[in-house]
Structure 1
Amino acid sequence: MTTMTTTSENTTAPAAPEPTPAKATGLLPLPLTTARALILGGGALTVVSCFLSWTWTAAFPGDLTVYGYPGGLQWQVLVTGLLTVLFSLSSYGVKGTRWLTPAGADAALKFSALASFATAWYTIVAISVQLGGPINLEPGGAVVGVATLLTLIGTLALPFERPELHPVDPEDDSWSQFRHKAANGWQTFKVSFAAGQARAVRPLPSAVEILIITGILATGLGIFTYGIGTEYDELFIGFLITAGLGFAALTKSGLIQQATQLTAKHQNLTIAGAFIAAALFPFTQTDDQYATIGVYILIFATVALGLNIVVGLAGLLDLGYVAFLGVGAYAAALVSGAPTSPLGIHLPFWAAVLVGAGASLIFGVLIGAPTLRLRGDYLAIVTLGFGEIFRITMMNTDGTSGPDITNGSNGIASIPNLNIFGFDFGMEHSIAGFTIGRFANYFFLMLLIMAVVVLVFRRSGNSRIGRAWVAIREDETAALAMGINGFRVKLIAFALGASLAGVAGTVQAHVTYTVTPEQYLFAGPIPPNSAFLLAAVVLGGMGTMSGPLVGAALLFLIPNKLQFMGDYQLLAFGLALILLMRFRPEGIIANRRNQLEFHENAEAPATLAKAGA
């Protein structure tokens, strides 16, 4: 018995040292009470300054000369100023505001103050540049500049918790490194859990949760309508600054996470509500101008969701996916009664959809069958080649270099508008007193097709084949060892994604009237193209349903609004993507697996703790 005790004592591994306590530090040496008072006072002064005149002339867009009523960019500063005030009150523990910061107020305050500062000073600089110097600022412009600067200084003095982590010795064995990483992750989790535990709230009634989801969807519709309807360039740039930093502030406060959990709990209701909110969009417009952008966003988003099956679920890097959109568009154009079509066929819309989807499906199988045995970079190169082969083939089938099928670079023009059961999509219609134009008609049609695509994505992703796609994506060798037919599973993903792109291409052919090879490049300034489609999936969140939809909307809207920048458009857009990928690599809307992959130390211990409970 004594021998056994001695052996156990001798073989026991030395205990890991206790982590040192977290240190509270701030970038500026101000007393905490002074910093918080500065933030609250600066935020309140920012709100007041939005009701003052910022310049003396209406020559600056938005007319910032009116006292008592904000205009243009003043509204954006007002929103971020109010957000700063509310977060500041929550940090003081004011009753009725604690729910605003379930993850803590300090980090959220930093981003909301930065949003106010960036938008306000961007406006001040724009006024000075356009009108000939800061002499054109009224007292309100000076007040908002000072107020936002003081607020930002106050947030820089706020403490932030950083746990002291144990350094990992690269010469340690794997077990010692694992123990160090586990201790570091657990320490980080304890700090974040302690901050959130004090703010735990009781579950809400289902009726209240449904009302909150309705408010979230209404807010999303309002933000999208405001962004797409910005009347001048300065307002849209301010909108990007406000929306980006405001989203970061809401994320740091924990509200985005709570909203995500709430919508996931009522997923079917949220999806139905999202489609209802999208259907209301054309009724918010006074003409058909912005409905045009809306229908192109839906086409782009539908194709991105199909690509998400290939890239996000199955893990197949496809760089020529836009070719399947072109196959569907050309196939539908050839059979839709266009006078320039050599076939001379005019099929009804449902038949044209079947032809477009079927043609893309066939091409997906023909391309996938010999190439899907490749992996990684080799597969990407082959798919990139297919995209270029498709475009060059459409250029050469003009009756000179090849058979007369597609009219070469002239494409197939004068594609007639759809007419379904007597409803002419090219005519204006009156619904409940609202005049709905041509692009709004196609918007509603594309919304119905989007609903079908979302249903297919959800059902396939949750099915046995969907789980096989995820297994192939995570580790193809292990999936094959478990008995999954990798080639067949990948071919199904390739074919299904291609057919969904073909359906979207059918509608695109009728919306644009003309189908030409130049519309289906690998990369270009305006989507859809293969590079933007892939960026939409990665930016929005691979493997999720709503991620590519959000990513596609942003990637189509922003380049259209930034055309005034000319040659610097892609530079600014690329820098924005780099920053977003740096600070949110898992995408705007990420699934749990991607969050654990990119934030392993901070999230994994929490997951393990929940699993153990």
Structure 2
Amino acid sequence: MTTQTETQKTDAPRGAINLPDGAPRILVAAGAIGTIASTFMSWTWTSEFPGDLTVYGYPAGLQVVALVAGAITLLFGLRLWDVRGLRWLNPAGAASPLLLAALAAFSVCWFAAIAIAVDLGGLANLDPGAYVAAVASALPVVGALALPHPGHSVKDYLTAPDQPAPTRDLAPWVQRLVITAGIALALIAFTYGIGINDDDSETFVGFALLVLFATWALVHAGQLARFSTLCARHKGFAAGMAFLAAAIFPFTQSDDHNANLGVNILIFATVALGLNIVVGLTGLLDLGYVAFLGVGAYAAALVSGSEFSRFSGVQFPFWAAALTGMAASLIFGVLIGAPTLRLRGDYLAIVTLGFGEIFRIAVNNMDGSSGPDITNGPDGIPSIPDLEIFGFNMGVSHEIAGFTLGRFANYFFLMLLITALVVLVFTRAADSRIGRSWIAIREDETAATAMGINGFRVKLIAFALGATLAGLAGTVSAHVTYSVVPSPYQFAGAAPPNSAFLLAAVVLGGMGTVSGPLLGASFLYLIPEKLTFLKEYELLAFGIALVLLMRFRPEGIIANRRQQLEFHETGQLDIPEQQSLPDSTTGASKATKAGA
């Protein structure tokens, strides 16, 4: 009869490590505890490294990130010991979530050690805490690789199940409590990430590694799938909690610069959501969409009362300026879409790309010498006054419940309301008859036309609606930035918003979804702001990220179910066989026991 150890070795994938029974559990627990303990030690002798990692007993900078990574690894590791109350964390008992959690701590600790050595000039700058962190964080990785796993190569560890393991139903109030806790955790993570100083790129890289591997582990454990199911079951409650969490964000910031990042992320995300109607729902490739943002911004700037405006004596209230920007973008959307939407595929993409460049060149030449005096040419329209809504001046700090909200925090709340409005329009339109027509056009325009759908009219409505939403965001953008200039409105540039980044936000986040473009826009705007050393190589890193995304997850981070099925071969999304973790008493897996 085959022994348990022999069976475990036979089932282990290539690249796995064979250890005696019980050793993986000890390695994981010891390594996780050692990683946590190392964060209370000094990692370097000098405070020149960002974060001041010289203090004993007080984690800071990358040590805080490593502490969280070690705690997550310990939680997944305690599942090996069958600790009561932690079975929900990894119900299927798969080995891959533990490995990914261990890789989070390993990558953070080793990145920190390498960064200290490179920035300060040698390994001599590492204190004992850094060595302890490097060794301790490697032990859980070894322990996780030694666990039995149903596969034949290490690549099998990276394949997540399509469906989560079944769990017992929760009471409705518990489900709402889980949704609240998940959204609160997301708010804490976002607040910490955006609060990292712009010159502290090392800490942000470590934070990004933690978020990447921890999220990956939760995906493999089925937690994100279950959370999505709960949010879909309580859609109104989840949307309300998400809106509340966003409204709380300005009160967590003492620096108005972070509120500035927040309002610009909302502007970028709102425009990306409008583009999602054109690209995600209708399937039209628009490479000049940022021009509609520019049309709305210039239209609002011309009636803002700026002394440099061609109509300097005209100052519309906000609601009128917003309607002006939306109407201008709507008109341009119809004028451009009417003659071009009879084209398909690459031809439509080329025409929209040309429109975007024509808009930028046109406003650049409307300076009174090369063309009519409307936009002041390259100088744009500066000195745009702040908005005043119902006597509330957006440019003045205000005291609310003991918190001081600066100028950008005021605009953040305004943009949050506009984002909520755009989300409502998107969801209502997608669920309507016209939304189903958009999806039919995206799937097969010929078949949709044969079934009686007026393809041209449906596409023109999508084009016009997307342009209108972009014009609304452009109205706020003009007042937030104090000025409007032609340079940002191009296909690809040094920083968003531009058409390439907007399209990438939709594709990265997930086409056809609501939360996908919001998440993609947040990533693409926040990462360049924090990783300042990538300024010269930003487009290179951006291109590599898109290639990797298209290779491993073409449906985006938050996948639309229909498109997820389209992007994968038949059977690829079937639920794979799950391998249980070792039993708490014998160390052998349940599957191994059954085989014996």
TM-score (norm 2): 0.90
Residue 380 of structure 1 aligns with an amino acid whose one-letter code is: A
Aligned-residue offset at 1:159: 3.1
Pick from 464, 469, 477 the counterpart of residue 446 of structure 2. Answer: 477
Q: CA offsets per residue over residues 391-450 of structure 1, 9 Å max, x none?
A: 111011111111111111111111111111111111111111111111111111101111
Q: CA offsets per residue over residues 183-241 of structure 1, 9 Å max, x none?
A: xxxxxx9x969x965xx321111111111111111111111111111121111111111
Q: What is residue 155 of structure 1 aligned with on the other side?
A: 144
Report SS of the residue matched to 2:150: strand
Aligned-residue offset at 1:105: 3.4
- 8 Å contact kept, 1:88–1:105: no
- 8 Å contact kept, 2:164–2:222: no
How many residue pairs align between the two structures? 558
Residue 259 of structure 2 aligns with an amino acid whose one-letter code is: A
1:515 pairs with 2:484: yes
Q: CA offsets per residue over residues 75-116 of structure 1, 9 Å max, x none?
A: 111111111111122134322111001343311112111111
| In structure 2, C-alpha distance between the alignment counterparts of 1:300 and 1:359, rounded to whole Å | 19
The aligned runs of 1:418-433 (5 Å cut-off) are 418-433=387-402
| In structure 2, C-alpha distance between the alignment counterparts of 1:599 and 1:281, rounded to whole Å | 38
Q: What is residue 275 of structure 2 aligned with on the other side?
A: 307
Residue 308 of structure 1 aligns with an amino acid whose one-letter code is: N
- 8 Å contact kept, 1:87–1:105: no
| In structure 2, C-alpha distance between the alignment counterparts of 1:163 and 1:102, rounded to whole Å | 23
Q: What is residue 173 of structure 2 aligned with on the other side?
A: 207
Aligned-residue offset at 1:139: 1.7
Give aligned-pair identity as a percent: 62
- 8 Å contact kept, 2:100–2:213: yes
Greater relative contact order (Cα < 8 A, sep 6+): 2
| In structure 2, C-alpha distance between the alignment counterparts of 1:587 and 1:32, rounded to whole Å | 40
| In structure 1, C-alpha distance between the alignment counterparts of 2:320 and 2:42, rounded to whole Å | 60
| In structure 2, C-alpha distance between the alignment counterparts of 1:71 and 1:254, rounded to whole Å | 31
Aligned-residue offset at 1:606: 6.4
- 8 Å contact kept, 1:26–1:157: no
- 8 Å contact kept, 1:103–1:252: no
- 8 Å contact kept, 1:26–1:160: no
Question: Tell me, which stretches of 5 or more residues in structure 1 are unaligned?
Answer: 1-21, 165-188, 608-613
The aligned runs of 1:37-186 (5 Å cut-off) are 37-162=26-151
- 8 Å contact kept, 2:397–2:405: yes
Q: What is residue 16 of structure 2 aligned with on the other side?
A: 28
Residue 89 of structure 1 aligns with an amino acid whose one-letter code is: L
Aligned-residue offset at 1:71: 1.2
- 8 Å contact kept, 2:394–2:407: yes
- 8 Å contact kept, 1:303–1:504: yes
Q: What is residue 219 of structure 2 aligned with on the other side?
A: 251
Report which stretch shifted further, 86-95 or 338-347.
86-95
| In structure 1, C-alpha distance between the alignment counterparts of 2:418 and 2:469, rounded to whole Å | 10
| In structure 2, C-alpha distance between the alignment counterparts of 1:295 and 1:243, rounded to whole Å | 22
Residue 281 of structure 1 aligns with an amino acid whose one-letter code is: F
- 8 Å contact kept, 1:394–1:406: yes
Report which stretch shifted further, 378-387 or 331-340.
331-340
Report SS of the residue matched to 2:404: strand
Residue 207 of structure 1 aligns with an amino acid whose one-letter code is: W
Q: What is residue 585 of structure 2 aligned with on the other side?
A: none
Q: What is residue 521 of structure 2 aligned with on the other side?
A: 552
Pick from 244, 269, 274 the counterpart of residue 242 of structure 2. Answer: 274
Pick from 389, 413, 435 the counterpart of residue 444 of structure 1. Answer: 413
1:593 pairs with 2:562: yes
Question: Tell me, which stretches of 5 or more residues in structure 2 are unaligned?
Answer: 1-9, 154-158, 577-596
Q: What is residue 8 of structure 1 aligned with on the other side?
A: none
- When the two chains are superposed, the root-mean-square deviation of aligned CA atoms in Å is 2.0
Q: CA offsets per residue over residues 434-472 of structure 1, 9 Å max, x none?
A: 111111111111011111101100100000000110111
Aligned-residue offset at 1:26: 4.7
Report which stretch shifted further, 596-605 or 548-557.
596-605
Report which stretch shifted further, 131-140 or 531-540.
131-140
Report which stretch shifted further, 494-503 or 88-97.
88-97
Residue 44 of structure 1 aligns with an amino acid whose one-letter code is: I
Aligned-residue offset at 1:51: 1.9
Report which stretch shifted further, 429-438 or 101-110.
101-110
| In structure 2, C-alpha distance between the alignment counterparts of 1:369 and 1:339, rounded to whole Å | 36
| In structure 2, C-alpha distance between the alignment counterparts of 1:510 and 1:531, rounded to whole Å | 24
Report SS of the residue matched to 1:430: strand
Aligned-residue offset at 1:266: 0.8
Residue 31 of structure 1 aligns with an amino acid whose one-letter code is: L
User: CA separation of 1:23/1:487 partners in 2, compared to 1, >3 Å: closer, same or farther?
Assistant: farther
- 8 Å contact kept, 1:304–1:537: yes
Q: What is residue 543 of structure 2 aligned with on the other side?
A: 574
- 8 Å contact kept, 2:31–2:140: yes
Residue 304 of structure 2 aligns with an amino acid whose one-letter code is: S
Report SS of the residue matched to 1:160: coil
Report SS of the residue matched to 2:399: strand
Report which stretch shifted further, 544-553 or 338-347.
338-347
User: CA separation of 1:581/1:93 partners in 2, compared to 1, >3 Å: closer, same or farther?
Assistant: farther
The aligned runs of 1:528-567 (5 Å cut-off) are 528-567=497-536
TM-score (norm 1): 0.88
Residue 15 of structure 2 aligns with an amino acid whose one-letter code is: L
- 8 Å contact kept, 1:102–1:255: no
Residue 154 of structure 1 aligns with an amino acid whose one-letter code is: G
User: CA separation of 1:577/1:483 partners in 2, compared to 1, >3 Å: closer, same or farther?
Assistant: same
| In structure 2, C-alpha distance between the alignment counterparts of 1:482 and 1:578, rounded to whole Å | 37
Q: What is residue 216 of structure 1 aligned with on the other side?
A: 182
Q: What is residue 289 of structure 1 aligned with on the other side?
A: 257
| In structure 2, C-alpha distance between the alignment counterparts of 1:435 and 1:503, rounded to whole Å | 28
Q: CA offsets per residue over residues 487-507 of structure 1, 9 Å max, x none?
A: 110000000000000000000
Aligned-residue offset at 1:571: 2.5
User: CA separation of 1:415/1:533 partners in 2, compared to 1, >3 Å: closer, same or farther?
Assistant: same
| In structure 1, C-alpha distance between the alignment counterparts of 2:17 and 2:294, rounded to whole Å | 60
Aligned-residue offset at 1:155: 2.4
- 8 Å contact kept, 1:128–1:134: yes
Q: CA offsets per residue over residues 53-81 of structure 1, 9 Å max, x none?
A: 22223222222222222111011111111
User: CA separation of 1:606/1:116 partners in 2, compared to 1, >3 Å: closer, same or farther?
Assistant: closer
